[in-house]
């Protein structure tokens, strides 16, 4: 690798992998990077950027935001090689072995299905994708691929933007949720919303931005009494707050037929306990309910009854200050 720009990109990716992954075969990542870079060296994206910037971005998403293993990162660097260059799956198999070749082949087959069909029955497509996938890493690389494509969607023709946004909202976002990738799901939803309902997206984004300082102050004010009590009770914990995501807020407005200023559950606060005992979560729920009035209809016990993907926590809705 003699190109200094891409040498730095490779170094940055390796640092990210070392931070995020349990173990890293640096030689594998280097080989995959060099192979992908050389395979795509003459290709250009719709944005005018070198094509290899896309698999590189997907590899970073897989390393940081999905964080499974180095094989997934290597496959992400190679995921478009068989589809878009002179190389074939057999070349990848010879160079990297059957596991990476099968992941790349799986990602390529998913792309081919969506090129040749319009998505009408989202649930049947999700079932078909699951039946095709022997290795979960195929879907993880595909989530990274779709997320980066959605982040750069504005370079495509308007009709294609809308088609990909609808496909993402109907298939990939619910799929990411099923895989337990909440942050990926939220971003896919918001990016789809942006391209399908631009005026509503801009309006909500503008309103939320104008009230950002007020919102941050409110979350701090809400959290302080909880933090004080939990420290007094001897819990080891992290507490963080965020506004709900734009698509989630938009759905509430549509379902309730209300403007933004009349949608009150705009904030989410998360308490993560450092404990092995699930009963501690119920104790903290009791403390929160003692400080703020809970809405019993909005209580969800995912500890006793976990979600299908293994997710466990308690959800509650409470009435905060004012």
141-193 confidence digits (pLDDT tens)? 999 999 999 999 998 999 999 999 999 999 899 989 888 898 999 999 999 99
CATH 1.10.3210.10 residue window(s) in the chain: 4-196
- Report helix, strand or coil for 268: strand
Cβ neighbours of residue 225 closer than 8 Å, sequence gap 6 or more = 291
Residue 231 in this model has a pLDDT that exceeds 60: yes
What is the DSSP secondary structure assignment for residue 52, as one 8-state letter?
T
Active site residue 83: yes
What pLDDT does 262 receive? 80
- CB-count exposure of residue 302 (10 Å: 0-12, 13-18, 19+): middle
Provide the H-helix boundaries in 89-235. 89-96, 98-116, 122-132, 136-151, 158-167, 173-178, 182-196, 198-210, 212-232
Going by pLDDT thresholds of 50, 70 and 90, the confidence category of residue 75 is very high
Q: What's the pLDDT at 51?
A: 92
DSSP reduced 3-state for 1: coil
- The pLDDT assigned to 125 comes to 67
Query: Is residue 201 predicted with pLDDT exceeding 90?
Result: yes
Each residue's pLDDT tens digit, 78-112: 999 988 889 999 999 999 999 999 999 999 888 77
Could you tell me the CA-to-CA distances from 5 to 2, 60, 247 in Å, in that order? 9, 16, 37
Give the H or E element holding residue 39: helix 26-39
CATH T-level assignment (fold) for domain 4-196 = Hypothetical protein af1432 (1.10.3210)
- Catalytic member of 53, 65, 84, 95: 84
DSSP per residue, 194-255? HHHSHHHHHHHHHHHHHTHHHHHHHHHHHHHHHHHHHHHTT--EEEEEEEPPHHHHHHHHHH
Catalytic residue flag (residue 118): no
Q: Which of 25, 83, 95, 227 is catalytic?
A: 83
Q: Look at residue 114 and tell me whether its pLDDT is greater than 80.
A: no
Q: Which residue has the tokens 């992941």?
A: 103
Render pLDDT for 115-126 as a digit per residue (tens, 0 to 9). Answer: 655 555 666 666
Cβ neighbors of 214 (< 8 A, separation 6 or more) are none
According to the model, what pLDDT value does residue 122 have?
64
CATH 3.20.20.70 is held by the domain 211-319: no
Which pLDDT score, from 0 to 100, does residue 118 have? 58
């Amino acid at each position: 690798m003699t190109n200094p720009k891409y040498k730095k990109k490779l170094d940055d990716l390796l640092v990210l992998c070392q931070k995020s992954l349990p173990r890293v075969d640096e030689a594998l990542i280097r080989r995959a990077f060099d192979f992908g870079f050389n395979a795509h060296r003459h290709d250009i994206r719709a944005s005018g950027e070198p094509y290899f910037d896309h698999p590189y971005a997907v590899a970073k998403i897989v390393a940081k935001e999905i964080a499974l293993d180095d094989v997934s990162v290597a496959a992400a660097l190679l995921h478009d090689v068989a589809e878009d260059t002179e190389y074939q799956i057999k070349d990848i198999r010879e160079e990297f072995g059957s596991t990476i070749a099968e992941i790349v082949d799986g990602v390529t087959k998913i792309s081919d299905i969506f090129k040749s069909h319009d998505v009408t029955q989202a649930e049947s497509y999700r079932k078909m994708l699951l039946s095709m996938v022997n290795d979960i890493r195929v879907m993880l690389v595909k989530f990274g691929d779709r997320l980066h494509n959605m982040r750069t969607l504005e370079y495509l023709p308007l009709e294609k933007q809308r088609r990909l946004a609808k496909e993402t909202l109907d298939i990939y976002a619910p799929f990411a949720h099923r895989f337990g990738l909440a942050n990926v799901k939220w971003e896919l939803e918001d990016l789809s919303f942006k391209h399908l309902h631009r005026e509503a997206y801009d309006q909500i984004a503008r309103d939320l931005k104008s009230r950002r300082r007020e919102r941050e102050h409110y979350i701090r004010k809400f959290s302080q009494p909880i933090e004080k009590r939990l420290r007094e009770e001897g819990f080891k914990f992290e507490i963080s707050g965020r506004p709900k995501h734009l698509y989630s807020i938009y759905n509430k407005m549509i379902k309730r037929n209300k403007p933004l200023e009349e949608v009150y559950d705009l904030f989410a606060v998360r308490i993560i306990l450092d404990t092995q005992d699930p009963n501690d979560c119920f104790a903290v729920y009791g403390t929160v309910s003692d400080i703020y009035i809970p809405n019993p209809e909005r209580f969800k016990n995912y500890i006793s009854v976990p979600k299908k993907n293994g997710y466990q926590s308690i959800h509650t809705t409470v009435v905060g200050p004012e």
